[in-house]
Structures are given as C-alpha cells and as structure tokens.
Amino acid sequence: MAKLEWTGGYIYYRYQGPATLSQSCNGIAPNSTSALAPYNLAQSGRVTVTEPDNILYQGFIYKV
C-alpha cells in the first residue's frame, strides 16, 4: 500500500443568466471656477451573460 497518494479533479460549469448594475453617488467638487458645487451621479444597466469556468485542483495525501 502506497503511503503517498496523488489526488485531484476537474470541474467545469457555465453560469448563464441576468446581471444587473445599479450605482449612485453624490458629493461636492470644484467646478471650472474653483467654487465648490454639489453633484449627483446615477447609472444602471442590465445584461444577460454566459460565463464558463474551468477549475483544476490537485494535492497529495501522506499516510503515516
């Protein structure tokens, strides 16, 4: 019986579905005349994505 064994595997999966982004911020910043002015920013987006992923793992087992 071997005391040292190699172990490992491979996993493949593909995520497919919607992804969304929603972002907003506000603050105070200098404008072209160097005076401070408030600002607001908002953006959003939606998309359908497909993300394949490959995972390879490996290791060793030592039996005492």
pLDDT bucket at 31, cuts 50 / 70 / 90 = confident
Confidence at residue 40, expressed as pLDDT on a 0 to 100 scale: 94
Confidence at residue 1, expressed as pLDDT on a 0 to 100 scale: 65
Length of the chain: 64
Question: 6, 63 in Cβ contact below 8 A?
Answer: no
Q: What is the mean pLDDT of residues 23-32?
A: 91
Confidence at residue 32, expressed as pLDDT on a 0 to 100 scale: 83
Confidence at residue 17, expressed as pLDDT on a 0 to 100 scale: 93
Q: How far apart are alpha carbons 26 and 39 in whole angstroms?
A: 5
Could you give the percent of the chain with pLDDT greater than 90? 80
**3-class DSSP string for the chain:** CCCEEEEEEEEEEEEEEEEEEEEEEEEEEECCCCCEEEEEEEEEEEEEEEEEEEEEEEEEEECC
Mean confidence (pLDDT) of the chain: 92
